[in-house]
Amino acid sequence: MLGLKRLSVAQFERALVFRERNLVRVLTRGVYWLWDPMARLTVQVYDATVPELALPRADVLLAEARALLEPQVQIVELGDREVGLVYKNDRLAGVLAPGTRQLYWRGSVNVRVEVRDIANEYALAANTARVLTRAKGVAGASDAISTVEVPDTSVGLLIVDGELRDVLKPGLSAYWKYQRVLRMELVDLRLQTMEVSGQEILTRDKVSLRVNLTALWQVTDAVKARATVANFVDYIYKELQFALREAVGTRTLDELLGDKGALDREVSASAAKLEASGLAVRSVGVKDVILPGEMKTILNQVVEAEKVAQANLIRRREETAATRSLLNTARLMEENPTLLRLKELETLEKVTEKIGNLTVYDGLEGVLKNMVPRLS
């Protein structure tokens, strides 16, 4: 019929009817006859399986034709301090940034938007964080959140707009990025090794030594340490260096070589003040005390002289003991003739063991006094 237009809208479609470019109807599934004798109507058909609706001049349409749109269109408008979690058919599908306005068709795709106020709450729930960071196809997630994963050997310090806001335990955490600057600092809580090597130090008696030190240190309070110390490693190194110089400089060379453990104890006691800064030195050990070449030669000579003197003293003691034993034996023989005779016979027995022929004159007296041995 002249002036009538037939319009068929499928079940997955929606149509907007404009008269002289003004929205007058929103059509759902069905067949429609539109009276338009003057050709003043225009129709825009949309695929409703794509729920997002992008309208030109949306500000004017929402201001003047909101009542027409709302039965078929879900209107989401976020404030400057709000974000939206978009669920499609109960599955998280996207994130809307603050200040966003988004239109969704009502119908085949069930769209639900959860609005979150991020003015004061900037942390995400653990379950939501896992979905946003690990699920694929979540639109806008990478631009919306900042993720932090703290290993089980450390703690994390969350810095928001330059201010320390939270101490993060091991695990995954996520935060909204919008309208704030987020930064995370990891602090390792394990024992760590530090080498203080090649320290040239003068002893109290002006001997130059080179000392090497090893220490084990640990962060005990991450918040306190960050607040008081700019660089943990440099600070501990300097404190150990100063303590070592003080311990060596107040002792003579003989004192140092006589008790090396005293250095360890004194340096460890000096390093105890680090605990006020949230740091702790667990153990200290002096590895090497290196002498200059000429001093090493002199000490070797001293040690050699001491050992020679000790050997001479021992030899004299042994000689004295042997002489005293002989004197005692002589006194016993002088006082006891029978003992003297037995000693003579014992000596004779030892001599005859090495003699092949023996000539005897004048009986036993001759054996004892006039023995003439002949080797075999």
For residue range 197-248, list pLDDT tens digits in order: 888 888 888 888 888 999 999 999 999 999 999 999 999 999 999 999 998 8
Distance, CA of 252 to CA of 284 (rounded, Å): 21
pLDDT digits (tens, 9 = 90+) for 27-82: 999 999 988 888 899 999 999 999 999 988 888 889 889 999 999 999 999 999 99
Q: How confident is the model at residue 366 (pLDDT cuts 50, 70, 90)?
A: low
Distance, CA of 39 to CA of 37 (rounded, Å): 6
* pLDDT beyond 90 at 112: yes
pLDDT digits (tens, 9 = 90+) for 163-173: 998 899 898 88
* pLDDT beyond 60 at 146: yes
The segment with the largest mean pLDDT, out of 68-77, 121-130, 317-326, 331-340, is: 68-77
pLDDT of residue 372: 47
pLDDT digits (tens, 9 = 90+) for 317-327: 888 888 888 77
Token digits for 214?
């090893």
pLDDT of residue 71: 92
pLDDT of residue 179: 83
pLDDT of residue 51: 93
* pLDDT beyond 60 at 370: no
pLDDT of residue 114: 92
Q: How many alpha carbons lie under 13 Å from residue 288 in its C-beta half-sphere?
A: 13
DSSP string of 9-57, one letter each residue? E-TTEEEEEEETTEEEEEE-SEEEEEE-TT--EEEEEEETTS-EE--TT
What's the mean pLDDT in 241-260? 85
| Percent over 70 (pLDDT), the chain | 85
* pLDDT beyond 60 at 361: no
Q: How confident is the model at residue 303 (pLDDT cuts 50, 70, 90)?
A: low
pLDDT of residue 1: 58
What's the mean pLDDT in 87-107? 91
What's the mean pLDDT in 293-297? 60
What's the mean pLDDT in 10-20? 92
Choose among 220, 199, 228: nearest CA to 282. 220
Domains of the chain: 192-291 (3.30.479.30), 299-374 (no CATH)
pLDDT of residue 354: 66
What's the mean pLDDT in 239-258? 87
Residue 359's Cβ-count burial label (10 Å; 0-12, 13-18, 19+) is exposed
pLDDT of residue 98: 93
* pLDDT beyond 60 at 105: yes
Q: How confident is the model at residue 301 (pLDDT cuts 50, 70, 90)?
A: low
Comparing 172 with 102, the larger pLDDT belongs to 102
Average pLDDT score over the chain: 84
Token digits for 88?
């499609």
Distance, CA of 214 to CA of 310 (rounded, Å): 36
* pLDDT beyond 60 at 375: no
